[in-house]
Amino acid sequence: MTDPDTRPTKQIRFYQAGSFAVGNRLLSPDERTVQARTERSNTLTSGHRACQGCGEALGARYALDAAMRATDGQLIATNATGCLEVFSTPYPESSWQMPWIHSLFGNAPAVATGVAAALKAKGRTDVRVVGQGGDGGTLDIGFACLSGMFERNDDVLFICYDNEAYMNTGVQRSGATPPAARTSTTKPVGEEPGNVFGQGKNAPLIAMAHEIPYVATATVAELRDLEEKVTRAMAIRGARYLHVFVPCPLGWGAASHDTIRLARLVKETGLFPVFEARDGEVTEVSKIRRRVPVEEYLVLQRRYAHLFKPKRNEAVLTRLQEMADRNIRRYGLLPEGGEAAGLPGDAGAAAGLEEVRAAVAGEAAVRPTPGPGLLRTIAGAPRGLR
């Protein structure tokens, strides 16, 4: 028998309780994810040819299964040319357990409009439409069709799986490629290695400028959030846009097992704000749980290796950190009262920050030593990291 007095004074806390981090085991059945349900549709089923650790395959599976559940299986998808199209349909094998059409690289939103129009004419408004494509098919070559679909408020949810370059053709720069990133057309050669510091092409903000009823961003690190957003989107009629951040191990020179970690870090740095907007206004922001310097995110990817070797490029690292800081200010990404105050379900609220880091990561994250430039940036950060 254990003497009550010898019991550990520190209560063991299941930090996941009350959060969704553990997946489903501690949740009541009705709160479980779509993916955890035995009746999930497996819309993008196994056997496809995506690379190990492909963020796009993961994002598409969760998004479409959630959309299928939300529409009771009454769903049609259109798909732009790209990795998702190629790896899913090496005919006679197809991974799509739903009606699916691929037409061209730049017209997936317009094809989706056509499908929706046909369904409306036929009185089948119970059947819904999802268009999907990568960042090239959405932000570059398909942009006019996307904007037209938004402007007309056609009843289509368009999902962009953003892996920040033309991966299917061999990692060329797209309008979504971030500054300084190496691609096969922005190689680390010359005076300014990697992609230029342009003005960016912020698709979610441009979507919001169309004042469509629903715009959201998500990452494959927070799959429950992704499912929720798809479910919410499918409850709305009209043009909707979901921009999902999907790491690409091949194109980014990252380890396959780091896909989720990178998707988490990109949000925790502030580089990719995760939010929801209705009718052109931001209504929800996913707060940063544990703010990290951008370096932690960059150092895991060979596309940024030239920023660290042969010598650190402080100027570029500073600019990238400033981009993250600007997002944090602009979207209010830090929780009220600083990060330790905690959000509902935030691990940081219950345990020491270092403990949480170990627990959440479980992966002894590579911690680059912040250089002087980065420290300057952190010192200038609004709060939380001081």
Partner 1 sequence: MLEQLEGSQAVARTVALCRPEVICAYPISPQTHIVEALSDIVRSGELAPCEFINVESEFAAMSVAIGASATGARAYTATASQGLLYMAEALYNASGLGLPIVMTIANRAIGAPINIWNDHSDSMSQRDSGWIQLYAETNQEAADLHVQAFRLAEEVSLPVMVCMDGFILTHAVERIDLPRAEQVDAFLPSFEPRQVLDPAEPVSIGAMVGPEAFMEVRYLAHAKQMQALDLIPQIADEFEAAFGRASGGLLRRYRSDDAETIVVALGSVLGTIEDVVDELREQGMSIGAVGLKAFRPFPLEEVRAALGHAKRVVVLEKALAVGIGGIVSANVRLALSGIQLHGSTVVAGLGGRPITAASLHGLFTRAAADELGPLEFLDLDWDSVEQELRRMRESTRSGPHAENMLRDVGTVASRSH
Q: Which residues bind partner 1 (CB under 8 A)?
A: 73-76, 78-79, 85-86, 89-91, 94, 96-104, 106-107, 110-123, 127, 144-145, 147-148, 151-152, 154
Nearer to partner 1, 44 or 316 (CB): 44
| Structure tokens, 253 | 């020179």
Q: Give residues with Cβ within 8 angstroms of 310, minimum separation 6.
A: none
User: In whole angstroms, how close is the CB of 238 to partner 1 at the nearest point?
Assistant: 15
User: In whole angstroms, how close is the CB of 292 to partner 1 at the nearest point?
Assistant: 40
Name the nearest CA neighbour of 77 among 129, 155, 126: 129
Q: How far is CA 56 from the centre of its chain?
A: 9
Nearer to partner 1, 167 or 381 (CB): 167
How far is residue 286's CA from residue 331's CA, in Å, rounded to a whole number?
A: 9
Contact 91, 40 (CB under 8 A): no
Nearer to partner 1, 24 or 147 (CB): 147
User: In whole angstroms, how close is the CB of 107 to partner 1 at the nearest point?
Assistant: 4
Nearer to partner 1, 168 or 269 (CB): 168
Collapsing DSSP to helix, strand or coil, 38 comes out as: coil
The answer, yes or no, to whether the previous bond of 372 is cis (omega within 30 of 0) is no
Name the nearest CA neighbour of 277 among 218, 200, 329: 218
User: In whole angstroms, how close is the CB of 171 to partner 1 at the nearest point?
Assistant: 20
How far is residue 98's CA from residue 73's CA, in Å, rounded to a whole number?
A: 8
**Helix H or strand E segment including 252:** helix 249-252
Name the nearest CA neighbour of 112 among 149, 142, 138: 149
Task: Determine what percent of the chain falls in helix, strand and coil, rounding each to the nearest 5.
Answer: 40, 10, 50
User: In whole angstroms, how close is the CB of 172 to partner 1 at the nearest point?
Assistant: 19
How far is residue 130's CA from residue 312's CA, in Å, rounded to a whole number?
A: 44
Q: Give residues with Cβ within 8 angstroms of 124, minimum separation 6.
A: none
Nearer to partner 1, 26 or 127 (CB): 127
Q: Give residues with Cβ within 8 angstroms of 184, minimum separation 6.
A: 170, 171, 172
Nearer to partner 1, 151 or 322 (CB): 151
User: In whole angstroms, how close is the CB of 12 to partner 1 at the nearest point?
Assistant: 48
Classify each residue of 267-302 as buried b or exposed e, where b means 16 or more C-beta atoms within 10 Å of its C-beta: bbbbbbbbbbbbeeebeebbbbbbbbbbbbbbbbbe
User: In whole angstroms, how close is the CB of 114 to partner 1 at the nearest point?
Assistant: 2
User: In whole angstroms, how close is the CB of 100 to partner 1 at the nearest point?
Assistant: 5
Nearer to partner 1, 43 or 195 (CB): 43
User: In whole angstroms, how close is the CB of 139 to partner 1 at the nearest point?
Assistant: 16
Nearer to partner 1, 7 or 122 (CB): 122
Nearer to partner 1, 97 or 318 (CB): 97
